Structure 1
Amino acid sequence: MVLVDQNMVDELNLLLRFPASSLMQGLKIHNDASQTVVHAAERLYSKGIITQPDGGYLTDLGIDLAEHARTLQVALSMKLN
């Protein structure tokens, strides 16, 4: 069983930063971004999830994963009664 490690959390957090409202919008990771964000972007790029090592756009796989990440975020943030 694979547990979620910090790299995965960082990648999920970066995926959640991509705009959900338009596929024509991307992200640019600037040189003053934290190393955590820079390395997460590089990993997502190497996995074929984003189009550039410094952000860019979501690939088709990235779009699917970002939608799932948003679903997880909503489900896990629900308050129990």
Structure 2
Amino acid sequence: MSFPPDYIEELNLLALYNLSSAQEGIKVHRHSAAPESVAAAERLFRKGLITQVDGGYLTPLGNETAEHTHKLLAILTSG
């Protein structure tokens, strides 16, 4: 089993969040972001992981998911 491209896009967005500050969100601009990123933000919003359809802040579940995403990236990139 492998990660579908949609999941990879969602993980990429979650990896952009700064976990050291709950006051720092992200914005996915519809007019300049890749369509895949816009769609990923919409899916994360529908799943209850972010507060706005175009980014915003992490919800509590989103914060936990982003923490796991950051840990996974750290493991995979350690050399």
Shorter-chain TM-score range? over 0.9
Instruction: Provide structure 1 residue ranges, at least 5 long, that are not aligned to the other structure.
Output: none
Identify the range of structure 1 (65-74 vs 28-37) with the bigger mean alpha-carbon deviation.
28-37
SS of the residue 1:14 aligns to: helix
Look up the match of 1:63.
63
Cα deviation digits, residues 4-57 of structure 1 (max 9, x gap) = 111000000000011122011101111211101100000000000000100010
Q: Matched residues in 1 for 2:18 and 2:77: separation?
A: 19
Identical columns (%) = 45
Read off the aligned partner of 1:50 and give its amino acid letter. Answer: I
SS of the residue 1:18 aligns to: coil
Read off the aligned partner of 2:15 and give its amino acid letter. Answer: L
Look up the match of 2:39.
39
SS of the residue 2:22 aligns to: coil
Instruction: Provide structure 2 residue ranges, at least 5 long, that are not aligned to the other structure.
Output: none
CA RMSD of aligned residues (A): 1.0
Q: Matched residues in 2 for 1:34 and 1:41: separation?
A: 11
Q: TM-score with structure 2 length normalisation?
A: 0.93
Look up the match of 2:50.
50
Look up the match of 2:21.
22
SS of the residue 1:11 aligns to: helix
Larger radius of gyration: 1
Deviation beyond 3 Å, 4+ runs, structure 1: none
Q: Matched residues in 1 for 2:50 and 2:37: separation?
A: 13
